Each structure stands twice: as C-alpha cells, then as structure tokens.
Structure 1
Amino acid sequence: MEHVSDEPISQLIRSARRHRQLSQYTLARELATVAGKPTVTRDLVARWERGHQIPRHGSRQWLSVVLHIPQDRLDAAAAASRRRARLGHAVVTNNAPVKPGPTRRAQGTPALLPVFRSRVQAGILAATLLNPHRSFSLSELAEHAGGSLASVDKESRMLEVAGILTNRVDGTIRLMRAADGNPMIAPLTELIKATYGVPQIVGEEFGRIPGVARIVLGGTWAERFAGIPGAPAESLEILLALAPGQPEDHDPIDVAARRTQTRLKCHVHVAARPLEARLDYLQIPRQRRGQPVVEVAPVRPRQRPATGMPWPDGRTVLAKMIDSGQLDLVSGPAANSRPFMELAGRHLDAAEQLLGTSPPSAFLLLSHAAQLIASGLLAHQGLRTAVGASDHLAGDAVTAQFGHQFSQVELLRQRSAELKNPTSRDSRVTDDEVKTYLTTVRSLLSVAHNVTSTLGTFIQR
C-alpha cells in the first residue's frame, strides 16, 4: 500500500530551514539566486510557512535544491496541505495569524488574550520575555511574531518606551531584549507564558523526547490562538506523532506532561501515535471535527541530560522555590549547561592571569565564575532563576542540593559586592586571597562536571 504523507508543506519548509539555520530572509535570497527570480521574497516564504499559500511545482523544485529535501517529499507535503484544506482543518503554525473567517477576529484583536494590542505585540513579548537572557534582531522578532518588519519595529519601539524592552546596536542591527529591573516584567511574563508562550514551552518539553517527529495542539486553546473568540482554555490537548519504528514510551511523555503542567499551570492531555498513519485530528484528546489545530516545532535540546541518577536531598527546597515563583522550569537551549561551564572556565583562566597585577579584578571574575557554575547546574536540570529573584537564590539552590562546599558561591557573591565599592575599607583584596579562591572555584567546577554526567531533569513529585 502506498504511504500517504500527512506532513504539511508549511511545517516541512520551516523545519528544514531551521535545520539549515537559515532565516526567512536568507532562504528567500538563496531561492531568488538559484532560481533567477527576484520575486522570491521573505514575505512569500512567510506565507508558505504560515500555510497561507502552497508553493507551486516550480518553487518546490528550487526548495528541494536549497533545503536539501527530495522533490517527492515536498510534493507529498503539498498534497497533504491540500487535503487538510478540503477537510476544513485550519492549521496554524508558530504565532502566525490565521486568515479571519466568519467566526474569527481580525489580526488586530487577539482572541487568546484581548488585552494585547495585536498578535504581533503578543508574539514579540512571547519571544523576549520567555528568553530574558537573549537579544533578538527585528527580523528574528518578525519571524516569531508572524508580522512585517515595519509592524515589529513599531511595536518594539512602543514596548521600549514603556520600559518593557531595551535595545542595543550591533553594527547596523538593532537588538531587542527584555528590560531588567522593571516590576511589570514578572507578572507580564506569567500572562505570556499561559497564552502566546504555550507553543514554545510545549515544543521544548515534548521536543526532548526521542522519536517525537511532530507535535499538534488542539482543543479550545487552538481556537483562541487561531483568533476564534470564546472562553479561555482550561486545558491543553496535545497529539504526538512518533517517528517510524519508535516505540511508545510513557515515562518521558508523562515527565514532559508534568513539567508542562507546572510551567503553564493548566491540565495537559496527551495522546501519541505512529507517524506512518494518516493524522486524524479526531484522535487529539477532546478534539472536535473542524476545530483548528496548531503545529508546534519540537525544540531539541543541544545537550540532553542523563536521567539515571535521582535528585539529591535538596529536591524539597527546589520544589518550594518553584512553587514560590523564584525558580522557573526551562527546556530547549536554555537547559544547556555547557555554555555556563565553558565561560566559568575562561573566567578562571583570566583570573589566574590577573594575579599580581589586579587582584580585585581577578576576584570579581572568580565570583562570576562561581555564579555561572551554579546557574549551569540549575540549567542542566531544566531550571533557571526567575526574573526579579534574589541574587543569592542560585547559590542557595545548589548548596541545598550538592552540599556545603557550594556555600562558597554565596560567600564569593557577598565578598564581590564589597569590592564593587572602591572607597570601602573592605574593597582591598590580596593575591593570597585570590589564589585561595581560585583553587576553591576550580574545585567547584570539577564537581559540577562530575555531577552533570549523571544528573537528570528536575521533576516535582
């Protein structure tokens, strides 16, 4: 029997583009170059990825060349998209707006959370507030928000004036990120997390499961996301499509569901089925015929944590920090400990070089290295200090988990705070003090490397 693909071409193009690490602008430029057609623009690529337009046969030929996808796979995906359109399923991807129908609101008034000015504004907030330590270019925000550069530029400037975003210029590129110290950020992040941040969080948590090829959200939440007005969703209905030959393992699915419930503070209903079968949206939990669905791109962790070791006795302390909003659950790239550990190692090397020339500078580097080690240990478990949390939180968390040795993280932070006031009597530091703490922090880094080789992702009981 001939296999019938159910992968929409919008999802296929977006996944392949991201795999090649291309922006929509770069893909459009490469297509225009190989095809010799300047009419291929970023807006056209965006329409393909939103499902608003199916690439014609000629365009699929060039997409095959640029994205390294077999032509027959693109043709099958295009046919799948046409079948879905005939069945009346509105498929939404990322934050892209659905074309308004008789029962749908216009793009300017988001039904999912009407307090926002527009879906573009909500998309910008979802990208920046859920990734508070990352900067975004306007083109990246346009991709996340599903809007034009002009609308993203306008909305981001308004958010900057409000003190929610801040910007810096890198060459000719303006980079935006969440502002620090604004008391509105924490409650606004919670609103975004429960609404327009749902696809990212679901993609992170279920994307870490081996063999998950596609993730589909349905039910009431998908209706609100698609622009259909109504009561807020009380739960999430999720369907996982497993790669061919991948056995269904309920343990990691249950873990992802529990973490998703904790992060989003709502009930999660999950079903899994093989990708080989045609995707019948009636098998999404509690899904009715004709309801819209949302395709979510799985976010693969760059460094998948081991799961063989139980968490240390500090689990109760961390659970209380999560419940009180001091720690956030994270996944995907934010749960990668390697950048923290690598930067801590570079700080240690730099501090050693500063011995004898600038002991205070060396000590500040050591203190920051210790904080990075603590943050790396938390990241490896899928945790991050919340925006506005106390400065001592990371040190307290790892001390509760890994023992008194890590109390040095907080002691170093307190001592470095004294050094930041050069007029204070306590701002003096000697080479001997730096040498002692250099050994201490190197020991912490070594212990952290050993711990992360067996430590798993944090899950509340």
Structure 2
Amino acid sequence: MEVDFNQPISQVIRAARRRRQLSQYSLARELATISGRPTITRDLVARWERGHQIPRLGTRQWLAVVLQVPQEKLDVAAAASRRRSRLGHAVVTENAPAGPGPARRAQGTPPLLPVFRSRVQAGILAATLLNPDRSFSLTELAEHAGSSLASVDKENKLLEKAGILTSRREGTIRLMRANSDGGPLAGPLTELMRLTYGVPQVIGEEFGCVPGVVRIVLGGVWADRFAGIAGPAPESIELLVAKPAGRPLDSRALATAARRTEERLKRPVHFAVVSAEPEPDTLQIPRQRPGHPVVEVSPIRPRVAPQIAGVELDGQEIVAQLLRVGQLEMANGPAANSQPFLELAARHITSAEQLTETSPDSAFLLLCQATQLIGSGMLAQQGLRISSTAPEHVLGTVVAAQFGHQFSQVEALRQRAKELQTPTSRDSHVISSEAKTYLGTVRSLLATATEVMPKLGLFS
C-alpha cells in the first residue's frame, strides 16, 4: 500500500466519501449506525473535511470500515494533519466560508466580506451566484456554507423572497439556483462575490488551463480573511502552483493565466511554481507570513480546452476597452466551452428551415437566436462573455470587429427581430422569401464560426 505521508486526513475522508458516492449526511448515518454512536452527525463530518477537527483513533477504526480505506492510511493522514496544524497551515477546500483561526466564528460576520450578517448567507450566495448554470440541493448548500440544513433553509427563503434565488422541486428534493432575472442587484452582487469568495473559482479556472498544473495553494491576506481571521481587505492575491517533478510549465500559458486572473479579480496576482506535493514547511507562497493559513484550490479544467497560442485578431482594442468599462467580462472553465452554443444554433437552423414556408416569422426568430448563439460561442472560445449590464448591441459589435463584416449580420438580425416585437407595425412580418434568404446567411455564419473556432485562444 502506497501512503502519502503529507496528505491531511480531511482530504482522505473527502476523497473516499466521494469515491463511495456518499453525502456527508449518508456517511454520518452509516457511522452512527455501525458504531452505535448517534453523536456522529453531518456537522461533525463537515468539521473533519474542513480540517477543523481530527477524528479520534476509535472513530478512525469505524471510518476505515465505512469508507473502505485502510486504517493505517487514516492514521498516517491524522498525523500529517497534526503536523500541519503545528506549522500553522490550515487546508480549506472549495468555497466553504468557514475556516480555522483564533477569530473564527461559525455563524458570525465573515471577515472576508463583512457586509453580510453571517457566513451562511455568504456561502450560499458564493455557491449560487458564481455557478449560475447549476442547481443546488439544500444538502449541497449546507456543505458549501458549513452550516445546518435549518440555517440554510432559512437563508434560502429570504434570498428567494428577495428575488435573488429561485427554486424548483424534483420529487421530494428542493433545488435552488441563482435567479436569471434577479433584477438590478444581481449583476453587482455577483461581481462582489466574485471578488471575494470567487477567488478560488477564478484561480482554479484560469490556472487550470495551464497544462501540467496539478495543485494550487492560496495564501497571504486573502487566505487569512477566508479562514476567518479578521483584518483589512486583501490588496493582492498570493498563490503557489505545483507541477510534476522534472516537467516545466509553459511560461506563456502561466503569464496568460495571471493576466486574466488580475483582470477578473481587479488586483495583482503573485505566484511561484514548485514541484508537486512539497513538504508543508517548504511551501514558499509569495508574501506568505509564517504561521498563517493556506487554502487548497482544485484546478478547474475547461470541458474543451482553448488553445493558449491563438491567432491575431482585429478588434483587440475594442475588446480591451469593453472589458475596462465592464460590458465584457472574462470567463473560463465550463463557461469557455463554445460547443453547446454552436450545437444549439445548429438545431435552431434546422427547425427554422422547416418553418420558412408555414411560419416565416417564427423561422426568422429562430435564426436570430442562432446568430446570437454563434456570436456568444465565438466569445466563449476566447474566455469572454457579455456582462449582464451590457447594451444589447455589444455582442454584434465585438464579433464584427474581430471577425469581419460578415458578422455584422449578428446585430442586423437582432435589430430586425426588434421590429417583429411590434405586431401593428408594417415591418412586423417576415415573408417566406426573406426567411429563406436569412437561412442561407445564418448557415454561412455557422460554417465560418466552425472553421475559425479551432484557431482561437484565450483573450488576454
């Protein structure tokens, strides 16, 4: 049996639980049943996985049985956790807003973002607003927020009543997600979360694009605030990037990741590169103060990894200007996958073809949607997306500036579609021949986008 003598028990428990496809509640229930100790609860499992508490020897015996992990591995990991604790290295994973430190308060005001009244509220908003395409169960949100189901449910109801979250039911499970029509507060609130609790996600997305990165560790003032230690807001981000031994990382890819991270987080980024899995006392995070916590970040791989070495594009200054004024924003990870945009655009085109004779108005609206999807897909391939506060014409402006006059049709079709929204206007209808002409135009746009897409890299 190979044993990693540096891996803390929090990571061993979490990895084994997920491998067995157990929730924290399920693991607690099995442990309570097999050990005869009803005091083993989900909250206790969460404390183990966040590194706040180390299971005792007797408990590790039952953990070995339930998780199907050799007890020796758990004992070694427990010893590693104690060493890290003595060295002052707290390991916090994902976006759990609670962490170790003398100033930690489980339900108190979060030092990272003290405008919120509790860590629970901040944890829920971080999970939902920073992952707008995903729905969360109450159990998942409780894990993100590091709190009980009752507390999370109470906050969810308040946030849903305010229109920030929305819910639906699948059988007996209630799922929560960010409200896509969350009103004027949604955009600023999401940006606020991105600049605070969103730091691990942005770091994981951008540095996860660098081939060979196997581990990322955040430190400095940001990690202090994230762990619950009160103090001033972080002015910069400090991190360590680990690579396989003997294998260099692409310096250009690292520079691109750092520039994009600085643009998205609005603050300087300082990083150093080391070989994978260094000893805890050898972690040399830039500007890291001795005895202060660090935060583990998982690299987030793009579903379709954009090429770092892209082609030179016209309109780069226009893109840069729109980024500066907040009408464009950088995105990565799953949001940088152009394929779903093009696939849906192709389906719209197929459906429109069937309607050009019987319902040319409907066919045209489908074609208009297809052009918007094509444009959005070309931006996604570059790690860009239109911000929620941008004017409607921005998408057409950007793709036409970058890819030529042919893509001015994106804006032209959008404007024509607006005319159809006034049924009493003489221009509110599309005839069959017009729909057929647009059908050919949009097909050509899709073919061009499909050809250009593999040549595009991340905008930096």
Q: TM-score, normalised by structure 1?
A: 0.88
Match in the other structure for 1:176? 177
Q: Is the 8 A contact 2:318 2:398 kept in 1?
A: yes
Match in the other structure for 2:47? 47
Q: Does 1:155 align with 2:155?
A: yes
Q: Does 1:24 align with 2:23?
A: yes
Q: CA deviation at 1:263?
A: 0.6
Q: CA deviation at 1:77?
A: 4.0
Q: CA deviation at 1:87?
A: 2.5
Q: CA deviation at 1:388?
A: 1.8
Q: CA deviation at 1:221?
A: 0.9
Q: Distance in 1 between matches of 2:208 and 2:264?
A: 15
Structure 2: runs of 5 or more not aligned:
none
Match in the other structure for 2:367? 366
Q: Does 1:351 align with 2:352?
A: yes
Q: Does 1:193 align with 2:194?
A: yes
Q: Does 1:337 align with 2:347?
A: no
Q: Is the 8 A contact 1:299 1:332 kept in 2?
A: yes
Is 333-342 or 118-127 further displaced after alignment?
A: 118-127
Distance change >3 Å, CA 268–CA 137, structure 1 → 2: same
Q: CA deviation at 1:8?
A: 2.7
Q: Is the 8 A contact 2:303 2:333 kept in 1?
A: yes
Q: CA deviation at 1:398?
A: 0.9
Q: Is the 8 A contact 2:17 2:67 kept in 1?
A: no
Q: Is the 8 A contact 2:260 2:330 kept in 1?
A: yes
Q: Does 1:166 align with 2:170?
A: no
Q: Is the 8 A contact 1:11 1:295 kept in 2?
A: no
Is 293-302 or 89-98 further displaced after alignment?
A: 89-98
Q: Is the 8 A contact 2:244 2:275 kept in 1?
A: yes
Q: Does 1:451 align with 2:455?
A: no
Is 242-251 or 105-114 further displaced after alignment?
A: 242-251
> What are the Cα deviations for residues 264-283 of structure 1, in whole angstroms up to 9, with x where unaligned?
11111101111143133651
- 1:280 match: secondary structure: helix
Q: CA deviation at 1:440?
A: 1.2
> What are the Cα deviations for residues 220-241 of structure 1, in whole angstroms up to 9, with x where unaligned?
1111111111111111110112
Query: 1:63 is matched by which residue type in structure 2?
Result: L
- 2:166 match: secondary structure: strand
Match in the other structure for 2:256? 255
Match in the other structure for 1:428? 429
- 1:291 match: secondary structure: coil
Q: CA deviation at 1:244?
A: 4.0
Q: Distance in 2 between matches of 1:165 and 1:385?
A: 21
Match in the other structure for 1:63? 67
Q: Distance in 1 between matches of 2:308 and 2:225?
A: 36
Is 97-106 or 344-353 further displaced after alignment?
A: 97-106
Is 114-123 or 242-251 further displaced after alignment?
A: 242-251
Distance change >3 Å, CA 166–CA 447, structure 1 → 2: same
Q: Distance in 2 between matches of 1:330 and 1:13?
A: 32
Alignment of 1:61-210 (within 5 A): 61-64=65-68, 76-98=76-98, 101-172=101-172, 173-180=174-181, 182-210=183-211
Q: Distance in 2 between matches of 1:29 and 1:356?
A: 61
Q: Distance in 2 between matches of 1:171 and 1:424?
A: 46
Q: Is the 8 A contact 1:215 1:239 kept in 2?
A: yes
Distance change >3 Å, CA 303–CA 75, structure 1 → 2: farther
Q: Is the 8 A contact 2:213 2:249 kept in 1?
A: no
Match in the other structure for 2:237? 236
Distance change >3 Å, CA 439–CA 220, structure 1 → 2: same
Q: CA deviation at 1:165?
A: 2.7
Q: Distance in 1 between matches of 2:330 and 2:99?
A: 34
Match in the other structure for 1:217? 218
Query: 1:229 is matched by which residue type in structure 2?
Result: A
Q: Is the 8 A contact 2:111 2:229 kept in 1?
A: yes
Q: Does 1:292 align with 2:296?
A: no
Alignment of 1:412-427 (within 5 A): 412-427=413-428
Q: CA deviation at 1:289?
A: 1.6
Q: Distance in 1 between matches of 2:432 and 2:28?
A: 55
Query: 1:208 is matched by which residue type in structure 2?
Result: C
